[in-house]
């Protein structure tokens, strides 16, 4: 019997559109995700095959979670239908057993849900077969991942969701409460997600994730590419346990629902139909009179009153409706969740600054506004028709524009109300975090910039519904509009003149406000507003009144209505939009160059194809730089006069120069001692110049350039944000010419390259390439240079360049600063200008200066503290500081990084200045970054490697190590363990994203996860093995040998020689593991027990399993015999170290007995995560006494 009921459920739904729409939706989502980069589901696919088993399982799992909304629609529908449609009595009077009824409905609707979600499998399958997908990114078809996804992830998840919400729906008999339940469930799920991210409870989190995602992620998180593209994880361990637990929970929930289910329970008190008899004949007296007469009037104000009245009715209809309330609640929960996760760095969070809150609203809330607008546009336009009151309504004497205007106004006001609630929510969150500078103007401006286009789209949604034949067709068209972004992008159509509501993006900065982003945005907004007015007039003339007619007839009626003000508005707006469009086009395409991202890549490809032939041509090298820069911040204009001294350092004459001139700037004059132009390519900014008089070997010659940067008009896309009203920041590569072919312009992405018929990306020069040692990796045409600069700016700004301020003066209403550097610096320098407040301090005789936005003062003392402590450690252990000054300068958050130039460290307002170090004992991210950047004054600005493999280890790994040592002093060893665990985790996770080949640290090819993350772990382990002092002594020797070195530059091998010399023979093999190879351990405690030894002490019996692997660059591992000295530790109460010593581990399984004096609580192998262990969570185990 239950089978028949289930079948009935299926056939019922097969006749409804829902199942088809849902299937298609799931199909399209994964189809898009697999076949394009524009659609992302749960993050980008990365570099693995688009149909890799890992990708399939991940996508389908995410789909089964997103599916909660679809699944609830099916199961709640099945549970509630008989009550809604009042067929319950009919049904329940039949001799159907309760079990059959409930189970049948449940099974039927669950099956439908699974069917709907399975659309995603077909989406992946067909998506990966599309002809436009890069065939190199498609692996062979495998059935396993599909079966695994369906069997292990999708079906159990759907069963769980079905059971929960079937029961919730049956118990509450209300769609509203069921969907509220979904919201609550989602919120609870994201809270448990916070918990999951805490690494210490990984196993528990794996079990507790109801959808098994954590279990899957933990099982695969350190997977290499070769694993991701070939296998699915084994169905065992935490994953298996998780699935069994949650299917069990589903069964329990269902059982509970079954037991408590009752046929007779009424939905609620509503819908009790009134009976006529109940009102009696009391009013009979009134019968027999003529109807009351009324004064009607149709003055000019009447329509306005009608409009206001109708708008009021519409507003309340939305505010009281279930979907709106559900979306509002969901939005509030989502925005709180989003706000609490704003940028955590190693446990340090950012202050909840208002612009971050606006960003949170953008990320977690606004998508709901788009759904609300689209959905209610359809609801409102079709409302009278859906309620069958159109006959009555349309014959009422109001002008045609009234219902349209009222509905539009209602939708606008409800949207504004919705946004206001979002803002109030984030303000509440700010207050909760103790941040009370609410900055209402930032909210107001930010929300306006963000949401105005959505209001225009809202008009579009209404117009589409007015023109459409029915509501669902209208929705379909709007969905097409919403995904049109993706389509435009796919065809490289990026101009905001034809992307409805489009405008260049604008970023808020506390320093610069919305700055110059406002102007283009305003023009585009005005243009699209006029286009929208045209749409409004279309909606008015096509507004339905009376019986539905074919479109041709409606057009006849529309023409009749198109007169007077409406006609004037249409024609006026078209004219206005055309004029504004022309003006915008003039700015974006005539004054500035309009270029799509794809064309930009084409240019990079052309540059490489045409000019790579000149790579390595001998060129003169710069030895001294003197620059006069005049910045006009409000005009975003810059004039620079550069006087270079170039020397022919080769032993042959140089007659031909290859010059790169960034197209962003324009050369006004050029004097290089007489030349003729052999070839000029102004598009790519590459010039071949013949010197009238070749430069003899050793000859020195002045080169003088005048360049100008003007920012006329505005652009369609990303605006140059180096020159801004307040907080300009540009470096030597931005606008000044450079000699020699510059490989930095080449495309890096192998797919982009393949599309343009370029070979795979050029790898870094090999470590034994002696010629490559003649360049360093930062500058291609200079070594150590003398530097001076004069910078002028507005009188209320301070301008900064490397060097020491020699003189400051005002002339002609401008402020001048003359800087001179007294020590040689690398050919890489930066300029800044802004309205700064300056914090001054001293470390010994070094001036500490921090230039910051006046309001951003909360982290200044800690920055200064970190600077001083860093200088302490580095000067004591490495070498003297080469400057008499150390400066940090804040710049706007258009970029988020900090960068070290000689005695000058630009630091983004986006993290350093708004970090919120709440817990005293935690690692302070500001401290860490500051220490790292100060360390670069040594690692980069004293020791610089050649342009080859391993050099970034000398710069970045060493800066990491230096910062780690300063931090260890400040925060203690226990915090370092936490920090290193993050670093290890990030290294292991990032390995799977490797594009080309994972290199050992010693040969790192500018791979961040290696030189930063693995570098930290390796260097910390090294100092642990050979001792901090011993290592620092070797480092000091090395700096003494290679600091400020002229070419040939040093290499990582030279550094390695010093390390080797400082390492005892017994540990030489450790160096091989750390530097020369990719070595991974798999150490764990299998068992631990302890007993009292009778003398008040304890004996701990520790059983461990140990394994050691070597990996190749593609992640293929081979086990090698283990024979290493590894930490063995025993811990007492409060993590007190009772025993810690290195033991030689030379067997796969070993038992070690350790005597300790206090009661042991925990014991472990490599308990401080000094080795690179693929699973660091099983290294410790609690002791059972």
Partner 1 sequence: MLSIQNLSKTYPNGVQALKNVTLEIPRGMFGLLGPNGAGKSTLMRTIATLQAADSGTIMLDDLDVLKRREEVRKVLGYLPQEFGVYPRISALSMLDHFALLKGVTNKGERKRVVEGLLRQTNLWEVRKRRLDTYSGGMKQRFGIAQALLGDPRLIIVDEPTAGLDPEERNRFHNLLAEIGENVVVLLSTHIVEDVRDLCSQMAIISEGEVLLSGKPEEIIRGIDGKIWVKEIEKAELESYKSEHTVISTRLYGGKTLIHVHGDTAPPGFSPVTPDLKDVYFSALKRVA
CA 240/CA 219 separation, integer angstroms = 11
CA 993/CA 987 separation, integer angstroms = 10
Interface stretch with partner 1, choices 67-75, 294-302, 663-671, 711-719 (CB under 8 A): 294-302
Q: Closest by alpha carbon to 26, among 114, 119, 154, 109?
A: 119
322 binds partner 1, rule: CB under 8 A? no
**H or E element, residue 807:** strand 804-811
Closer Cβ to partner 1, 131 or 291, answer by number: 291
CA–CA distance from 678 to each of 497, 607, 683 (Å)?
A: 40, 17, 16
Q: Closest by alpha carbon to 456, among 355, 573, 311, 557?
A: 573
| Contacting partner 1 within 554-593 (CB under 8 A) | 557
84 binds partner 1, rule: CB under 8 A? no
Closer Cβ to partner 1, 86 or 842, answer by number: 86
CA 1011/CA 955 separation, integer angstroms = 9
- Residue positions counted in the chain: 1185
| Contacting partner 1 within 331-390 (CB under 8 A) | 383, 387-389
- Binding partner 1 by CB under 8 A: which of 188, 255, 256, 313? 313
Q: Are 263 and 1151 in contact (CB under 8 A)?
A: no
Q: Closest by alpha carbon to 1053, among 1000, 1002, 998?
A: 1002
Closer Cβ to partner 1, 406 or 990, answer by number: 406
409 binds partner 1, rule: CB under 8 A? no
Q: How far is the CB of 183 from partner 1 (least distance, A)?
A: 22
In a 3-state reduction of DSSP, which class is residue 316? helix
Closer Cβ to partner 1, 545 or 978, answer by number: 545
- Binding partner 1 by CB under 8 A: which of 143, 259, 395, 876? 395
Closer Cβ to partner 1, 259 or 285, answer by number: 285
Closer Cβ to partner 1, 272 or 973, answer by number: 272
Q: How far is the CB of 329 from partner 1 (least distance, A)?
A: 19
Closer Cβ to partner 1, 143 or 294, answer by number: 294
Q: Are 161 and 70 in contact (CB under 8 A)?
A: no
- Binding partner 1 by CB under 8 A: which of 143, 259, 275, 811? 275
Closer Cβ to partner 1, 301 or 759, answer by number: 301
Q: How far is the CB of 376 from partner 1 (least distance, A)?
A: 15
| Contacting partner 1 within 541-560 (CB under 8 A) | 545-547, 549-550, 553, 557
- Binding partner 1 by CB under 8 A: which of 54, 111, 365, 398? 398
Closer Cβ to partner 1, 95 or 291, answer by number: 291
- Binding partner 1 by CB under 8 A: which of 190, 192, 226, 317? 317
Q: How far is the CB of 547 from partner 1 (least distance, A)?
A: 4
**CA 839 from centre of chain:** 33
Closer Cβ to partner 1, 179 or 987, answer by number: 179
Q: Is 346 left (phi over 0), alpha (psi -120 to 50) or beta?
A: left
Q: Long-range contacts made by residues 251-259, C-beta under 8 angstroms, separation at least 24? A: 251/163, 253/163, 253/164, 253/167, 254/106, 254/163, 254/166, 254/167, 256/167, 257/102, 257/163, 257/166, 257/167, 257/170, 257/171, 258/98, 258/99, 258/102, 258/103
Number of Cβ within 10 Å of residue 463's Cβ equals: 24
Please, which residues have CB within 8 angstroms of residue 1028's CB and are 6 or more apart in sequence? 965
- Binding partner 1 by CB under 8 A: which of 140, 288, 674, 1096? 288
CA 191/CA 240 separation, integer angstroms = 23
Q: How far is the CB of 306 from partner 1 (least distance, A)?
A: 5
Q: Closest by alpha carbon to 1181, among 1165, 1158, 1162?
A: 1162
Q: How far is the CB of 279 from partner 1 (least distance, A)?
A: 5
| Contacting partner 1 within 214-273 (CB under 8 A) | 270-273
Interface stretch with partner 1, choices 289-297, 797-805, 963-971, 1048-1056 (CB under 8 A): 289-297
The footprint of partner 1 on this chain (CB under 8 A) covers a number of residues equal to 56
CA 1102/CA 101 separation, integer angstroms = 58
- Binding partner 1 by CB under 8 A: which of 259, 290, 811, 876? 290
Closer Cβ to partner 1, 143 or 273, answer by number: 273
- Binding partner 1 by CB under 8 A: which of 42, 139, 399, 761? 399
- Binding partner 1 by CB under 8 A: which of 15, 94, 320, 973? 320
Pattern 967-1006, partner 1, x by CB under 8 A: ----------------------------------------
Q: How far is the CB of 372 from partner 1 (least distance, A)?
A: 18
- Binding partner 1 by CB under 8 A: which of 234, 309, 697, 972? 309
Closer Cβ to partner 1, 95 or 280, answer by number: 280
- Binding partner 1 by CB under 8 A: which of 305, 484, 683, 1069? 305
- Binding partner 1 by CB under 8 A: which of 95, 132, 264, 296? 296
| Contacting partner 1 within 128-157 (CB under 8 A) | none
CA 596/CA 589 separation, integer angstroms = 12
Q: Which residues face 631 on adjacent strands? A: 638
Q: How far is the CB of 466 from partner 1 (least distance, A)?
A: 17
Q: Closest by alpha carbon to 610, among 684, 689, 691?
A: 684
1063 binds partner 1, rule: CB under 8 A? no
Interface stretch with partner 1, choices 137-145, 274-282, 1152-1160, 1162-1170 (CB under 8 A): 274-282
Closer Cβ to partner 1, 294 or 811, answer by number: 294
Angle, helix 925-935 to helix 958-971, in steps of 10 degrees? 140
Closer Cβ to partner 1, 310 or 711, answer by number: 310
Order of all β-strands in the sheet with 1084-1092: 1084-1092, 1098-1105, 1149-1156
In a 3-state reduction of DSSP, which class is residue 703? strand
Q: How far is the CB of 560 from partner 1 (least distance, A)?
A: 9
- Binding partner 1 by CB under 8 A: which of 93, 262, 289, 1184? 289
Q: How far is the CB of 557 from partner 1 (least distance, A)?
A: 8
CA 110/CA 547 separation, integer angstroms = 41
697 binds partner 1, rule: CB under 8 A? no
CA 513/CA 446 separation, integer angstroms = 10
CA 396/CA 822 separation, integer angstroms = 86
Q: How far is the CB of 174 from partner 1 (least distance, A)?
A: 15
Can you give 635-676 as a three-state secondary structure string? HCEEEEEEEEEEECCCCCCEEEEEEECCCCCEEEEEECCCEE
Q: Closest by alpha carbon to 975, among 349, 203, 346, 350?
A: 346
ω into residue 1048 within 30 of 0, thus cis? yes
Q: Which residues face 366 on adjacent strands? A: none
Q: How far is the CB of 270 from partner 1 (least distance, A)?
A: 8
User: Which residues contact partner 1 by CB under 8 A?
Assistant: 270-276, 279-284, 286-299, 301-302, 305-306, 309-310, 313, 317, 320, 383, 387-389, 391-399, 545-547, 549-550, 553, 557
């Amino acid at each position: 019997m239950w089978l028949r009921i289930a079948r009935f459920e299926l056939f019922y739904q097969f006749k409804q559109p829902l199942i088809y729409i849902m299937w298609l939706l799931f199909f399209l989502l994964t189809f898009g995700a697999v076949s394009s980069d524009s659609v992302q589901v749960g993050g980008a696919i990365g570099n693995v095959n688009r149909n890799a088993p890992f990708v399939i399982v991940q996508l389908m799992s995410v789909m089964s979670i997103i599916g909660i909304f679809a699944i609830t629609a099916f199961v709640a529908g099945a549970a509630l239908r008989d009550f809604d449609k009042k067929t319950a009595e009919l049904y329940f009077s039949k001799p159907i057993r309760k079990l059959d009824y409930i189970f049948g409905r449940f099974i039927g609707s669950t099956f439908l849900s699974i069917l709907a979600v399975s659309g995603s499998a077909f989406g992946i399958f067909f998506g990966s077969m599309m002809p436009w997908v890069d065939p190199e990114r498609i692996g062979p078809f495998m059935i396993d991942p599909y079966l695994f996804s369906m069997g292990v992830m999708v079906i159990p998840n759907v069963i769980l969701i079905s059971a929960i919400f079937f029961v919730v729906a049956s118990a509450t008999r209300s769609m509203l409460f069921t969907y509220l339940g979904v919201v609550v469930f989602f919120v609870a799920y994201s809270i448990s997600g916070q918990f999951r991210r805490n690494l210490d409870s990984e196993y528990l989190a794996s079990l507790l994730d109801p959808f098994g995602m954590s279990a899957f992620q933990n099982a695969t998180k350190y997977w290499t590419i070769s694993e991701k593209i070939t296998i699915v994880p084994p169905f065992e361990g935490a994953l298996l346990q998780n699935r069994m637990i949650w299917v069990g929970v589903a069964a329990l929930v269902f059982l509970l629902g079954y037991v408590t289910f009752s046929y007779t329970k009424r939905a609620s008190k509503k819908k009790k139909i009134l009976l006529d008899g109940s009102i009696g004949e009391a009013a009979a007296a009134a019968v027999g009179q003529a109807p009351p007469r009324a004064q009607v009037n149709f003055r000019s104000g009447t329509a306005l009153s009608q409009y206001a009245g109708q708008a009021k009715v519409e507003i309340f209809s939305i505010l009281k409706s279930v979907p709106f309330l559900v979306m509002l609640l969901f939005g509030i929960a989502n925005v709180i969740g989003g706000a609490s996760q704003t940028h955590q760095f190693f446990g340090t969070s950012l202050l909840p600054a208002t612009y971050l809150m606006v960003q949170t609203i953008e990320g977690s809330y606004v998508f709901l506004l788009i759904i609300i607008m689209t959905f209610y546009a359809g609801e409102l336009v079709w409302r009278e028709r859906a309620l069958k009151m159109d006959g009555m309504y349309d014959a009422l004497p109001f002008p045609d524009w009234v219902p349209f205007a009222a509905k539009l106004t209602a939708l606008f006001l409800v949207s504004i109300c919705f946004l206001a609630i979002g803002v109030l929510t984030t303000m509440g969150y700010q207050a909760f975090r103790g941040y009370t500078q609410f900055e209402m103007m930032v909210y107001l401006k930010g929300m306006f910039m963000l949401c105005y286009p959505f209001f225009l789209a809202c008009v579009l949604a209404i117009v589409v519904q007015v023109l459409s034949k029915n509501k669902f067709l209208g929705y379909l068209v709007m969905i097409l509009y919403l995904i049109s972004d993706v389509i435009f992008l796919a065809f490289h159509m990026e101009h905001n003149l034809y992307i409805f509501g489009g405008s260049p993006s604008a970023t808020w900065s506390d320093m610069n406000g919305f700055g110059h982003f406002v102007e283009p945005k305003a023009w585009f907004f005005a243009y699209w507003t006029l286009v929208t007015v045209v749409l409004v007039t279309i909606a008015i003339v096509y507004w339905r009144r009376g019986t539905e007619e074919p479109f041709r007839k409606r057009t006849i009626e529309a023409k009749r209505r198109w007169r007077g003000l409406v006609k004037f508005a249409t024609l006026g707006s078209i004219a206005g939009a055309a004029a504004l469009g022309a003006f915008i086009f003039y700015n974006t395409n005539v004054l500035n160059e309009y270029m799509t991202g794809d064309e930009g890549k084409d240019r990079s490809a052309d540059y490489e194809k045409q000019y790579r032939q000149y790579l390595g041509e001998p060129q003169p090298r710069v030895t001294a730089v003197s620059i006069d820069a005049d910045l006009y911040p409000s005009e975003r204009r810059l004039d620079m006069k550069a006087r270079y001294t170039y020397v022919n350092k080769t032993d042959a004459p140089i007659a031909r120069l290859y010059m790169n001139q960034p197209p962003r700037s324009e050369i006004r004059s050029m004097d290089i001692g007489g030349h003729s132009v052999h070839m000029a390519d102004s598009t790519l900014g590459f010039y071949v110049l013949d010197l009238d008089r070749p430069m003899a070997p050793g000859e020195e010659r002045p080169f003088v350039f005048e360049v100008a940067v003007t920012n006329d008009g505005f652009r369609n896309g990303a605006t140059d944000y180096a020159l801004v009203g307040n907080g300009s920041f540009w470096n030597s590569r931005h606008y000044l010419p450079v000699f020699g072919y510059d490989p930095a312009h080449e495309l890096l992405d192998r797919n982009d390259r393949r599309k343009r018929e370029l070979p795979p990306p050029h790898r870094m020069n090999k470590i034994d390439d002696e010629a490559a040692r003649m360049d360093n990796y930062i500058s291609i045409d200079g070594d150590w240079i003398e530097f001076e600069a004069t910078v002028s700016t507005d009188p209320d700004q301070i301008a900064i360049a490397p060097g020491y301020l020699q003189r400051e003066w005002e002339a002609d209403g401008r402020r001048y600063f003359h800087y001179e550097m007294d020590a040689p610096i690398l050919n890489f320098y930066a300029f800044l200008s802004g309205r700064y407040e300056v914090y001054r301090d001293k470390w010994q005789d070094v001036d500490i200066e921090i230039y910051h936005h006046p309001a951003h003062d909360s982290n200044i003392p800690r920055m200064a503290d970190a600077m001083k402590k860093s200088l302490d450690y580095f000067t004591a252990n490495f070498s003297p500081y080469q400057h008499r000054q150390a400066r940090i300068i804040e710049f706007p958050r258009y970029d988020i990084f900090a960068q070290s130039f000689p005695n000058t460290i630009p630091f983004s307002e986006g993290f350093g200045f708004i970090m919120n170090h709440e817990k005293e004992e935690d690692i302070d991210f500001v401290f860490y970054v500051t220490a790292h950047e100060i360390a670069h004054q040594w690692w980069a600005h004293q020791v610089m490697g050649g342009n080859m493999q391993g050099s970034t280890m000398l710069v970045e790994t060493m800066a990491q190590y230096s910062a780690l040592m300063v931090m260890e002093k400040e925060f203690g060893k226990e915090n370092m363990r936490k920090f290193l665990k993050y670093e290890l985790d990030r290294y292991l996770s990032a390995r799977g994203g490797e594009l080309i080949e994972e290199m050992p640290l010693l040969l790192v090819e500018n791979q961040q996860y290696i030189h930063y993350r693995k570098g930290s772990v390796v260097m910390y382990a090294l100092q642990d093995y050979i001792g901090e002092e011993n290592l620092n002594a070797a480092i000091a020797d090395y700096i003494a040998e290679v600091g400020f070195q002229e070419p040939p530059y040093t290499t990582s091998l030279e550094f390695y020689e010093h390390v080797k010399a400082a390492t005892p023979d017994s540990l030489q093999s450790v160096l091989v593991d750390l530097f020369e190879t990719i070595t991974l351990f798999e150490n764990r405690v299998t068992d631990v027990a302890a007993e009292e030894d009778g003398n008040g002490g304890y004996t701990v019996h520790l059983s461990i399993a140990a394994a050691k692997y070597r990996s190749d660059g593609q992640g293929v591992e081979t086990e090698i015999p283990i024979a290493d000295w590894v930490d063995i530790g025993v811990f007492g109460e409060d993590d007190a170290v009772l025993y810690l010593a290195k033991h030689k581990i030379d067997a796969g399984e070993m038992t070690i007995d350790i005597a300790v004096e206090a009661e042991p609580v925990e014991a472990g192998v490599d308990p401080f995560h000094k080795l690179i262990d693929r699973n660091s969570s099983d290294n410790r185990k609690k002791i059972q006494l």
